């Protein structure tokens, strides 16, 4: 049975950014397909993401550009960086706002 399977070679360098799911004789590639508007909304959270990473705070995004953060078992979702900043300064003991 194994002799009948055709395994495809690993992806080339051009395909490295794509997540791939391999099956027998078939390969499906999943590319992140976000519009420039969605990417700009997500990039607005860049400074907050960096601060979350340095403070060990769990964060992520929901489609299209909802910022989700979990601090002290409290999970919240935000549309604007300002709202996220207010929440984090209130919930996290070692969070420093840029305005301080």
Nearest CA among 53, 7, 11, 47 for reference residue 26: 7
Tell me how far apart the alpha carbons of residues 90 and 100 are, in angstroms, rounded to a whole number. Answer: 14
In this structure, the chain runs to a length of 100
C-alpha radius of gyration, the chain, whole number: 20
Predicted confidence pLDDT, tens digits, the chain (100 residues): 444 445 555 555 554 444 555 555 666 666 667 888 888 999 999 999 999 999 889 999 998 889 999 998 889 999 999 999 999 988 887 777 655 4
pTM over 0.75: no
The residues pairing with 46 across neighbouring beta strands, listed in sequence order, are none
Identify whether 55 is preceded by a cis peptide bond (ω within 30 of 0): no
Geometric angle at alpha carbon 45, from 74 and 29, rounded to 5°: 95
* Per CATH, domain 36-91 is 1.25.40.10: no
């Amino acid at each position: 049975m194994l002799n009948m399977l055709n395994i495809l070679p690993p992806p080339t360098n051009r395909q490295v950014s794509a997540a791939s799911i391999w099956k027998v004789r078939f390969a499906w590639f999943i590319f992140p397909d976000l519009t420039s508007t969605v990417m700009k909304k997500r990039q607005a959270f860049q400074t907050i993401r960096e601060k979350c990473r340095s403070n060990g705070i769990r964060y992520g995004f929901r489609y299209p550009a909802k910022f989700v953060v979990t601090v002290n078992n409290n999970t919240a979702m935000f549309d604007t960086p300002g709202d996220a900043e207010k929440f984090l300064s209130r919930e996290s003991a070692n969070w420093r706002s840029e305005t301080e």
